[in-house]
């Protein structure tokens, strides 16, 4: 299970989609300063356990338009984190890029997950350098699993289950070349991924953690690794 709220916003400045994720992250982080618990966590290096999408619907030319309404989906593996963020967003109703229109909150319980598709680029670094197509797929899977397992153990320190395989059975890279996302006056390289998930219980738990906390790195900063899931009904 994970928790989600949908924010409807009016965009105040036309912005390219590869720049918009940073602006969404900045707005959400500024809003969190109104809550003492979230404000304290903002300055530590622990996992934040939330993730957000880019704006929806997607514009065909890649530019979100001033004056139009869009939806942002914000998720967390922790109910308390999402409740606090929801309250903060309602207090910080606008900034230079967004004006809040509405919020709708709920929880999501998924049945058996077979696939996951990242709708924002996934960022993975190896020795402080971005994973790129020239590196091996096996290396990418191992890094994604390691990151997800650390999030799982941070969320559930008393769960003693161990994994003898990666939760990802295989993956497909959907883009032909890395996607460059703007962040702090530089570009971070990521990739859109389709993951095939193993059927065992531990792999399913890991997949649910990823859906609530993000796949790979920079999920709470720029919404990298926001995924949708395909399930067996």
- Digit-coded pLDDT (tens) for 40-75: 887 788 899 999 999 999 999 999 999 999 999 999
pLDDT at 45 (0 to 100): 80
Alpha-carbon distance 117 to 115, whole Å?
7
Alpha-carbon distance 105 to 94, whole Å?
19
- Digit-coded pLDDT (tens) for 101-151: 999 988 887 889 999 999 999 999 988 888 987 789 999 999 999 999 999
- Digit-coded pLDDT (tens) for 151-170: 999 999 988 777 778 999 99
Inter-axis angle of helices 201-213 and 137-155, nearest 10 = 80
Quick one: which of 204, 190, 193, 199 has its CA closest to 228?
Answer: 193
Alpha-carbon distance 31 to 53, whole Å?
17
Alpha-carbon distance 206 to 229, whole Å?
13
Q: How confident is the model at residue 194 (pLDDT cuts 50, 70, 90)?
A: very high
pLDDT at 100 (0 to 100): 96
- Structure tokens, 165: 């395989």
DSSP label at 12? S
Peptide bond into 57 cis (omega under 30): yes
On the CB side of 85, how many CA atoms lie within 13 Å of its CA?
29
Tell me the domains of the chain and their CATH numbers.
2-108 (3.30.70.1890), 113-231 (3.30.70.1900)
Phi, psi of 60 (to 5 degrees): -60, -35
Quick one: which of 2, 4, 215, 47 has its CA closest to 115?
Answer: 215
Q: What angle do CA 80, 29, 36 make, to 5 degrees?
A: 50
pTM, two decimal places: 0.94
DSSP label at 33? T
CB 65 within 8 Å of CB 14? yes
> CB count, 10 Å around CB of 232?
9
CB 51 within 8 Å of CB 116? no
Mean pLDDT of 3-19: 96
Mean pLDDT of 207-218: 95
- Cβ neighbours for 90, distance < 8 A, ≥ 6 positions apart: 100, 103
- Structure tokens, 20: 């918009």
pLDDT at 1 (0 to 100): 81
Alpha-carbon radius of gyration of the chain? 17
């Amino acid at each position: 299970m994970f928790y989600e709220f949908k924010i409807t916003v009016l965009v105040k400045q036309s912005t390219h989609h590869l720049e918009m994720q940073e602006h969404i992250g900045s707005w959400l982080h500024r809003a969190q300063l109104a809550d003492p618990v979230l404000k304290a966590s903002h300055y530590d290096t622990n996992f934040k356990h939330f993730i957000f999408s880019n704006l929806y619907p997607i514009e065909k030319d890649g530019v979100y338009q001033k004056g139009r309404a869009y939806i942002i989906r914000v998720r967390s593996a922790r109910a308390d984190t999402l409740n606090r963020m929801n309250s903060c967003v309602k207090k910080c109703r606008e900034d230079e890029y967004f004006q809040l229109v509405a919020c709708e909150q709920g929880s999501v319980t998924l049945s058996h997950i077979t696939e996951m598709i990242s709708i924002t680029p996934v960022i993975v670094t190896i020795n402080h350098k971005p994973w790129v197509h020239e590196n091996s797929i096996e290396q990418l899977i191992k890094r994604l699993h390691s990151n997800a397992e650390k999030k799982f153990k941070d969320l559930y320190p008393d769960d003693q289950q161990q994994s003898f395989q990666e939760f990802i059975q295989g993956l497909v890279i959907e883009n032909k070349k890395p996607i460059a996302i703007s962040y702090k006056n530089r570009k971070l390289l990521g990739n859109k991924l389709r993951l095939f998930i193993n059927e065992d219980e531990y792999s399913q738990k890991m997949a649910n953690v990823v859906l609530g906390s993000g796949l790979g790195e920079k999920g709470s900063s720029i919404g990298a690794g926001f995924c949708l899931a395909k399930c067996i009904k």
